[in-house]
Amino acid sequence: MAPVCRPRTKFGAGTPELSPMLKTIRELCRWRDLIRNMVLRNLRVRYKGSVLGFLWTMISPLFMMLIYFLFLRLLRIPIDLPELLIGILAWTFFATCLSDAVVVITAAPSLVKRTPFPKLVMPAAMILANLINFLLSLLVLAGFLAVSIIFFGYRSAAGWSLLALPGVIILNLALVAGLSSFLACLNVYFRDTEHLISILLLAWFFMTPIMYPLERALGSLSPALFSLYCLNPMVAVVSLYRFVFLGTAPPAAAGFYISMAVCLLTMVLGTAFFLRREPYFADEL
């Protein structure tokens, strides 16, 4: 059982009224000690018994990049390797969070039933643990890009675009937080969710420009269909990461800008759904 901490501060009756989302964020901040303990536990469990332990967080993406580099060169597949790697890293973070979120509540029934704390802490801690891995992967990616530019003459238009990285990560987190909260709650009531999610993620993977450039979708689809395609929020996330690291311009389609708003809306709706059903979790588990 994870160590359970008490909230840091208590707010009195005179605390000014806040919007529901700000209240949720403030409640999570009050339980930051518990979140920190859960994040550390998640990281320890992931690398328990491993000789290299936490180093695998950086070794895995490094080997993945080297393998893609070697095979794409040997097979002469016409794919821009940095674009491919950025897409894969962004997708891996997204898919890992959703796969972990599905069982984050149902896998700990005794903790949910016996310990009084905001259950939103559980998906939040899971996301933060995966975020640490993702940020370290981005560091490896930055090193890989530097080597590609210096030794292999790869041309990147990135510059000031790197300053947008925190904003892109926040947008990515908003999407992941909303969907993770929704799926974690949904699986409490509908256990088939954890079996369906892998199928849905596979279909979603191919609807996102990861293994192919966005220009191919632009050239293959009519303008109306391309706008619909851009409503996929992961199109916006992957395109923005490529803009940050490679300086490639995001699509000008209206759907692209709408999908960024969808990321924020997903966080609000997913969190609201979770909070509304949270009081009944113990009865269902």
CA distance 265 to 196: 23
Q: What is the pLDDT of residue 14?
A: 47
Of the candidates 191, 145, 187, 189, which has an alpha carbon nearest to the alpha carbon of residue 165?
A: 145
- Mean pLDDT within 144-149: 85
Q: What is the dihedral of CA 263, 178, 21, 121, to 10 degrees?
A: -150
CA torsion 202-136-121-259 (nearest 10°) is -50
What percentage of the chain exceeds 90 in pLDDT? 25
Q: Where residue 18 falls among pLDDT bands split at 50, 70, 90? A: low
Q: Among 50-54, 116-120, 138-142, whose mean pLDDT is lowest?
A: 50-54
- Read off the DSSP letter of residue 206: H
Q: Which of 194, 166, 26 is nearest to 107 (CA)?
A: 194
Average pLDDT over residues 210-220: 80
pLDDT digits (tens, 9 = 90+) for 50-108: 766 667 777 777 777 778 777 777 776 677 888 888 988 999 999 999 999 999 999 88
Q: Which of 122-126, 155-159, 163-167 has the lowest mean pLDDT?
A: 155-159
Compute the half-sphere exposure of residue 63: CA atoms within 13 Å on the CB side of its CA: 6
- The rounded distance, in Å, linking the Cα atoms of 45 and 1 is 12
Q: How much is the pLDDT for 117? A: 82
- Tens of pLDDT along 240-249? 999 999 888 7
> Alpha-carbon distance 46 to 68, whole Å?
25
Which residues have CB under 8 Å from 235's CB, separation 6+? 208, 209, 214, 229, 251, 255, 256, 259
| Exposed / middle / buried, residue 258 (Cβ in 10 Å: 0-12, 13-18, 19+) | middle
What DSSP assignment string belongs to 90-105?
HHHHHHHHHHHHHTTT
